[in-house]
């Protein structure tokens, strides 16, 4: 009997599902959360100001800042400030980036350029360009020159470093393939090295664009009549905190626009990455 | 065209990789070079095609380059070496662009090689959309586009899984049956060697020397059906390599 019972007993051994312990560690995009967070923050802030929890002296209400913005718009100066800043930003950033890519390629491709220019780049990159502003004013004048130069120098060095890093990281196998098919040096640079370095160059552009916006305010500190930076500084020195908020918000929107544009460029140029 | 390697030796720093290699590669046949890992077989292939310079000796080309040949010594790499930002057709056009061909000429060549490798429907696909086997087929199509006199194949199937490897071996046999291309094929895989090689050159462990050359007379097209008969050859090759492979496996890396 007992040996007949045994199989039945083993069949009744406790059975349980293998507990799931994988998954996680993989953030996924959720739409509409970002704008909702912004909206909630502004609503909270406005409510705090209305009820007096946040003193007007400490922080003006969003509605006040909005009124200041409407005033600025009606005075007709909004476009003047924005366009002046945009001109400096676009001009300084594009020349700085173009020169940076050129020098970065030289460093990436030629040993002599690497030996001579790389230490220079490393020496100049950490210098805060704001500290050099007085020199720039002497060299390029108090007008547009010194402002554009500040942004230009600020964007040049990170671009150099991103570009030569990108060139260094192009797969050697692809270059050897080009050589094995007898491609010319120029073809290899144009068709293999440049496209291969493009992802690094674009992520460098993302960084240099943010640096350009930061430096814009610094550059407009001296002798600028118009520009978002000048507007912010003016508001700051008058303790017109509502205008200050407007200026800072404009800079932030500018940054968002630039990062959106670079995102579009990445999508268009790097669609092969999938 | 014939390739001959004469008294070739090569070292990386103080590590001697190849020592006194003498070999000839005849047109119209596939010569397979096998050897244990680290015996310098890939280096030998790079030296043959001029991607590296030997310390001593040289490799020579004898005879005329065939008509319409754009790149006599053409490589097929283990990692395919396709540009990820170019489509299948773009990757093939890449190697034609430096040769002053008209647009219609190069388009015709691309259509032709894609047809010969059964890839026509993948004309506009990007490499990331293709499986490993397809990528290597594209690389083979690209190599055919320049009408090479010699194909230098550096472990072309080693990055593929074994089923894909079988399929591609069949493709290569078919291709050879149609075109009688000349190739030097480097591998560490004995079954590839006996399936594809008209002759198999066995290299010894570092420094690489020619340990022996085995001719296999059976026609390539019959080898799949007569695999049992090839078993003997494969065993013979394995006996030649076994000790070397064992020693290579136990060696401490110093390069």
Domain coordinates in residue numbering, chain A: 68-273
Which residue of B lies nearest to A179 if distances are taken between CA atoms? B51
Q: How far apart are CA B92 and CA B106, in angstroms?
A: 9
Residue closest to B146 by CA, chosen among B172, B181, B192, B187: B181
Please say if the pLDDT value at position B32 is more than 90. yes
- Number of Cβ within 10 Å of residue B53's Cβ equals 9
How far apart (Å, rounded) are the C-alpha atoms in residues A158 and A149? 15
**pLDDT at residue B221, as a whole number:** 84
Contacts of A192 in chain B (CB under 8 A): 83
Per-residue model confidence (pLDDT) at position A117 = 94
Predicted TM-score of the model (pTM): 0.84
SS3 labels along B201-234: EEECCCCECEEEEEECCCCHHHCCCCHHHHHHHH
Using CA coordinates, name the residue in chain A closest to B90: A191
Residues 6+ apart with CB under 8 A from A54: A45, A48, A61
pLDDT per residue over B60-69, tens digit each?
988 888 888 8
Residues A272, B87: contact at Cβ < 8 Å?
Answer: no
Beta carbons within 8 Å of B232's beta carbon, 6+ residues apart: none
Report the pLDDT value the prediction gives residue A206, as an integer from 0 to 100.
92
Contact of A268 with chain B, judged by CB distance below 8 Å, is answered with: no
Per 3-state DSSP, what percentage of chain B is helix, strand, and coil (rounded to 5)? 40, 25, 35
Question: With contact defined as beta carbons under 8 Å apart, do A215 and A130 qualify?
Answer: yes
Q: Which residues contact A250 (CB under 8 A, 6 or more apart)?
A: A81, A82, A228
- A179 contact residues in B (CB cutoff 8 A): 51
Question: Which residues in chain B touch residue A274, judged by CB atoms under 8 angstroms apart?
Answer: 126, 128-129
**Do B205 and B37 form a contact (C-beta atoms < 8 A)?**
no
CA nearest to B50 within chain A: A180
Q: What is the mean pLDDT of residues B83-88?
A: 94
ipTM score assigned to the predicted complex: 0.89
Q: How many CA atoms lie within 13 A of B197 on its CB side?
A: 29
Nearest CA in chain A to B51: A180
Residues B47 and B34 sit within 8 Å (Cβ to Cβ): no
Interface contact A192, partner B, CB < 8 A: yes
**pLDDT score, position B239:** 86
Q: How far is the alpha carbon of A130 from chain B, nearest alpha carbon, in Å?
A: 40
Query: Distance (Å, rounded) from C-alpha A59 to C-alpha A45?
Result: 9
The CATH class that applies to domain A68-273 reads mainly alpha
The contacts of residue A151 (CB under 8 Å, 6+ apart) are A88, A89, A91, A92, A93, A96, A212, A215, A216, A219
Nearest Cβ partner for B79 among A173, A183, A274: A173
Please, what is the end-to-end C-alpha distance for chain A in angstroms?
A: 67
Q: Please give the average pLDDT of every successive group of 10 residues along chain A, which has 274 residues.
A: 54 86 87 91 92 85 91 90 93 95 95 94 90 89 89 94 95 94 94 95 93 89 84 89 91 92 92 83
How are the residues of chain A apportioned to helix, strand and coil, as percentages rounded to the nearest 5? 75, 0, 25
> What's the burial of B129, exposed, middle or buried (CB within 10 Å: 0-12/13-18/19+)?
middle
What is the pLDDT, as a whole number, of residue A6? 56
Q: How many beta-carbon pairs under 8 angstroms link A with B? A: 51
Q: For B224-254, write each residue's pLDDT tens digit.
A: 888 888 888 888 888 888 877 787 777 776 5
Q: Which domains does chain B have, with CATH numbers?
A: 2-65+149-249 (3.40.50.300), 84-148 (no CATH)
Q: What is the mean pLDDT of chain B?
A: 89
């Amino acid at each position: 009997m007992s040996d007949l019972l045994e199989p039945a007993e083993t069949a009744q051994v406790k059975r349980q599902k293998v507990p799931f312990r994988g998954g996680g560690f993989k953030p996924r995009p959720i739409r509409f959360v970002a704008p909702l967070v912004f909206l909630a923050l502004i609503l909270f802030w406005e409510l705090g100001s209305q009820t007096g929890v946040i003193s007007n002296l400490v922080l003006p209400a969003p509605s006040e800042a909005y009124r200041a913005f409407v005033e600025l718009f009606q005075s007709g100066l909004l476009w003047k400030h924005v366009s002046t800043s945009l001109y400096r930003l676009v001009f300084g950033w594009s020349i700085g980036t173009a020169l940076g890519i050129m020098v970065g390629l030289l460093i990436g491709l030629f040993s002599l350029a690497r030996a001579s220019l790389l230490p220079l780049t490393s020496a100049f990159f950490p210098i805060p360009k704001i500290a050099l502003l007085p020199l720039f004013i002497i060299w390029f004048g108090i007008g547009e020159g010194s402002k554009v130069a500040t942004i230009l120098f600020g964007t040049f060095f990170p671009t150099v470093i991103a570009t030569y890093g990108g060139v260094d990281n192009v797969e050697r196998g692809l270059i050897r393939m080009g050589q094995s098919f007898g491609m010319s040096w120029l073809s290899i640079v144009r068709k293999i090295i440049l496209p291969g370095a493009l992802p690094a160059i674009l992520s460098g552009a993302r960084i240099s664009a943010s640096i350009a916006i930061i430096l814009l305010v610094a550059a407009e500190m001296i002798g600028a009549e118009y520009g978002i930076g000048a507007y912010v500084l003016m508001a700051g020195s008058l303790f017109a905190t509502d205008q200050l908020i407007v200026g800072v918000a404009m800079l932030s929107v500018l940054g968002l626009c630039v990062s959106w544009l670079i995102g579009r460029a990445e999508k268009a140029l790097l669609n092969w990455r999938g | 065209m014939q390739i001959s390697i004469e008294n070739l030796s090569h070292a990386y720093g103080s590590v001697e990789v190849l020592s006194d290699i003498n070999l000839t590669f005849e047109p119209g046949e596939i010569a397979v070079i096998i050897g244990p890992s680290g015996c310098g077989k890939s280096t030998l292939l790079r030296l043959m095609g001029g991607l590296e310079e030997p310390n001593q000796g040289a490799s020579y080309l004898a005879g005329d380059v065939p008509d319409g040949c754009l790149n006599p010594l053409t490589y097929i790499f283990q990692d395919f070496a396709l540009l990820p930002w170019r489509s299948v057709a773009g990757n093939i056009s890449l190697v034609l662009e430096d040769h002053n061909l008209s647009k219609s000429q190069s388009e015709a060549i691309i259509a032709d090689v894609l047809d010969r490798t059964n890839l026509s429907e993948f004309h506009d696909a990007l490499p990331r959309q293709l499986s490993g086997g397809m990528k290597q087929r594209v690389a083979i199509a690209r190599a055919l586009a320049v009408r090479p006199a010699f194909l230098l194949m550096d472990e072309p199937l080693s990055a593929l899984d074994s089923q894909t490897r079988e399929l591609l071996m069949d493709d290569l046999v078919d291709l050879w049956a149609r075109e009688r291309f000349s190739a030097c094929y480097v591998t560490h895989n004995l079954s590839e060697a006996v399936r594809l090689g008209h002759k198999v050159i066995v290299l010894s462990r570092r420094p690489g020397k020619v340990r022996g050359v085995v001719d296999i007379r059976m026609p390539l097209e019959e080898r799949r059906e007569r695999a049992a008969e090839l078993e003997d050859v494969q065993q013979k090759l394995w006996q030649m390599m076994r000790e070397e492979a064992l020693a290579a496996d136990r060696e401490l890396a110093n390069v």
